[in-house]
Amino acid sequence: MTDPAPGARDGDAPDAAERHGAGAAPRPGEEELFAALDRTRADLAAAPRPVAPEGLTASLLAAVAAEAAAGAVDDDPPARRRVAPGSVTPSRRRVGSSRRRRTVAALAVAATAAAVLAVVVLGTGPAGTAPPAPTAAPAPSPTGAPVVLTSGDLPQALRAGLGGRDGTADPAARAACLVAHGLPAGTVPVGSRAVVLDGRPGTLYVVATGRAAVFRLLVVGPGCGPGSPDTLGDVTVGG
Amino acid sequence: MDDTRSDEALLAAHVAGDPSAFPELVRRYSERLWAFATRILRDSHDASDVVQESLISAYRNASRWRGEATVNTWLHRIVHNSSLDRLRRRRTRTAEPLTDAVDVPLHRDPILDRERVLAVEEALGRLPLAQRAAVVLVDMEGMTVAEAAAVLEIKEGTVKSRAARGRYRLAQLLGHLRPEYDTASDPVGPTARIVGNDPAPGGVQAPGGQVRSPSGGDR
């Protein structure tokens, strides 16, 4: 370790550090401080980037593809959505209008053909009774009110699941929930959103399937965890 | 075939409706932005979420980019702001005990001095958020002061000051300076917990923890 610069006065070190950062020469007595700061900068420059998880880029590309697909299907003006503070505010995307109309038509045909490939809705109410009205709203999400859906809405819920945040406090719990649905460990949803599906509070996850423009929309209840799927809805859309 | 278009050309092509353009930007920037977010958030899971949110935001709002900053700084700015948002939510949502564990995945390189790399990452995590961001951008990401100022949306002089003070603190934590050197001159003080940013309006309290001296043990 290096002794403090013998000639440096107390309180001068941060100022000396600023002069070092500006490329100034050390004053008498500051040589060792400057040398220490040089070593620190060298350590920082030499530190390799943290290793990104395998599949990160693929997952992000899938998220972008989902956004593109959802944006093309949803021809309505985008609803106001929360974006990261300081980032650009939402605006209408200027996608070429004729290209967009063709894409919308093609996706509409594909969505109709592929709609509701698998729908699993688990209800716990007694047979023959109306589903109970929500007696309590889900815990307020930092992102705002949950999206209210019915089973019939689920195939069209792709856009609702993108860009929102379910407020999941524990990524590990989310990961365990997805594993309970047969997904590989480490799966990161393309999107997620707090929802109320058929009157039951839950979380919608949009998961890439590995096939272009095909996504799994999974709605899970609050009890979803290791060995306990608590599935409210499960549908694959797109393609 | 590699896409040789510049970042700016890709963004313009995306705005014009080219479906291949934005994915190319994702391929170019995903790991770099993730590394930046990881160093800010100190959590690789949160970093993945933040980068995804940020890229979706960039995808949607690309038409608002006017070229006043490079695409590189623009994307880093979005990630930085998303990270601050995540830290605010983390702070208001949980009261979980802070941990000194470093969730920064390291390269499995037998030649690499893993102990030294770990020490750098741990020391980085002990900086106030504002200093950490400045040091990461300038000294690790290789940005100029002007670029870092554009990312952080502060003045260049503030970047210089934060980076310099961050380096000074790191020099102490890494053992390049004796800890005692800090006693009289560091405004934080050896017994203070390093939390929060330099004083700034709307500053965010970063996750902090007890300071561990380079020789071990908690202060």
Instruction: Give the mutation candidate from A10, A12, A51, A103 for the B interface (greatest B CB count, under 10 A).
Output: A51
A37 vs B15, B23, B168: nearest CB: B168
Q: Does A101 touch chain B (CB under 8 A)?
A: no
Q: Does A64 touch chain B (CB under 8 A)?
A: yes
Mean pLDDT of A162-167: 57
Q: Does A153 touch chain B (CB under 8 A)?
A: no
Instruction: Give the mutation candidate from A39, A82, A87, A94 for the B interface (greatest B CB count, under 10 A).
Output: A87
Are B26 and A57 an interchain contact pair (Cβ–Cβ within 8 Å)? yes
Distance set, CA A190 to CA A118, A216, B56, B99, B194 (Å): 19, 10, 10, 29, 35
Whether residue A58 has pLDDT greater than 50 = yes
Specify the pLDDT at position A137.
Answer: 32
Residue of chain B minimizing CA distance to A66: B56
CA A194/CA A148 separation, integer angstroms: 9
With contact defined as beta carbons under 8 Å apart, do A122 and A232 qualify? yes
Residue of chain A minimizing CA distance to B25: A61
Contacts of B161 in chain A (CB under 8 A): 18
B82 conformational bin, left if phi > 0, alpha if psi -120 to 50, beta if neither: alpha
With contact defined as beta carbons under 8 Å apart, do A196 and A131 qualify? no
> pLDDT tier at A117 (50, 70, 90 boundaries)?
very low
Specify the pLDDT at position B103.
Answer: 62
pLDDT digits (tens, 9 = 90+) for B21-73: 999 999 999 999 999 999 999 999 899 999 999 999 999 999 988 888 899 99
Are A48 and B106 an interchain contact pair (Cβ–Cβ within 8 Å)? yes
Percent above pLDDT 70 for chain A: 56
CA B128/CA A96 separation, integer angstroms: 45
Specify the pLDDT at position B112.
Answer: 55
In the DSSP assignment, the letter for residue A195 is E
Are A60 and B104 an interchain contact pair (Cβ–Cβ within 8 Å)? no
Structure tokens at A71: 């944006």
Q: Does B109 touch chain A (CB under 8 A)?
A: yes
A2 vs B105, B177, B185: nearest CB: B177
With contact defined as beta carbons under 8 Å apart, do A122 and A231 qualify? yes
Contacts of A2 in chain B (CB under 8 A): 176-178
More confident residue, A148 or B82: B82
Are A84 and B54 an interchain contact pair (Cβ–Cβ within 8 Å)? yes
Q: Does B216 touch chain A (CB under 8 A)?
A: no
pLDDT digits (tens, 9 = 90+) for A84-102: 434 443 333 433 444 444 4
**Burial environment of residue A141 by CB neighbours within 10 A (0 to 12, 13 to 18, 19 or more):** middle
SS3 of residue B7 by DSSP: helix
H or E segment and range at residue A46? helix A31-46
Find all residues with CB under 8 Å of A132, minimum gap 6, and list them. A125, A199
Specify the pLDDT at position A162.
Answer: 62
Instruction: Give the mutation candidate from B63, B181, B182, B213 for the A interface (greatest A CB count, under 10 A).
Output: B181
Find all residues with CB under 8 Å of A97, minimum gap 6, and list them. none
Q: Does B170 touch chain A (CB under 8 A)?
A: yes
CA A134/CA A184 separation, integer angstroms: 33
**Residue A117 distance to chain B (closest CA, Å):** 27
Q: Does B202 touch chain A (CB under 8 A)?
A: no
pTM beyond cutoff 0.80: no
CA A200/CA A222 separation, integer angstroms: 10
How many CA atoms are closer than 13 Å to the CA of A85, on its beta-carbon side? 14
> pLDDT tier at A64 (50, 70, 90 boundaries)?
very high
Are A37 and B16 an interchain contact pair (Cβ–Cβ within 8 Å)? no
Tell me the pairing of strands A147-149 and A191-197. Answer: parallel
The rounded mean pLDDT for chain A is 68
Structure tokens at B193: 């917990």
Q: Which residues of chain B have pLDDT under 70?
A: 1, 92-115, 117, 178-219
